[in-house]
Amino acid sequence: MQQEQKPDRYVSFVGIEGDKNSRELIVMLRRHIDDPLKSNRFWEMFKGKLDLVGKPDENSGRCLDELYLIHAYINNISELFEQYEDEAALALLEQIETESC
């Protein structure tokens, strides 16, 4: 019986869909932070950073991507998902952290 091979980020990112998973997680996050009842000054600032993803010409030459923002703000994102008991988002966040961060 052959053991299933799981992708290992320390060997290769082959088989890890980091970009796709990051974009999917941001969609899940936006469901919360785009709700005025769930947002605050921090999330409004974070949305400004999301607006700069893929736009280095608008960000002093620095090109942000979703994975970078997830990694940089992983604790804040996790706390929000825990607060609203979003188990699917927490599971994807854990997967992203394990595979890509």
Judge whether 11 lies within some domain. no
Judge whether 8 lies within some domain. no
Structural domain range at position 85: 18-100
Please tell me the pTM assigned to this model.
0.83
Judge whether 45 lies within some domain. yes
Judge whether 82 lies within some domain. yes
Domains in the chain: how many in total?
A: 1
Of the chain, the percentage scoring pLDDT greater than 90 comes to: 77
Judge whether 5 lies within some domain. no
Judge whether 74 lies within some domain. yes
Which tens digit of pLDDT belongs to each residue from 4-37? 566 555 555 666 788 899 999 999 999 999 999 9
> What are the Cα distances from residue 7, in Å, to 14, 58, 80, 83, 91?
7, 35, 28, 30, 17
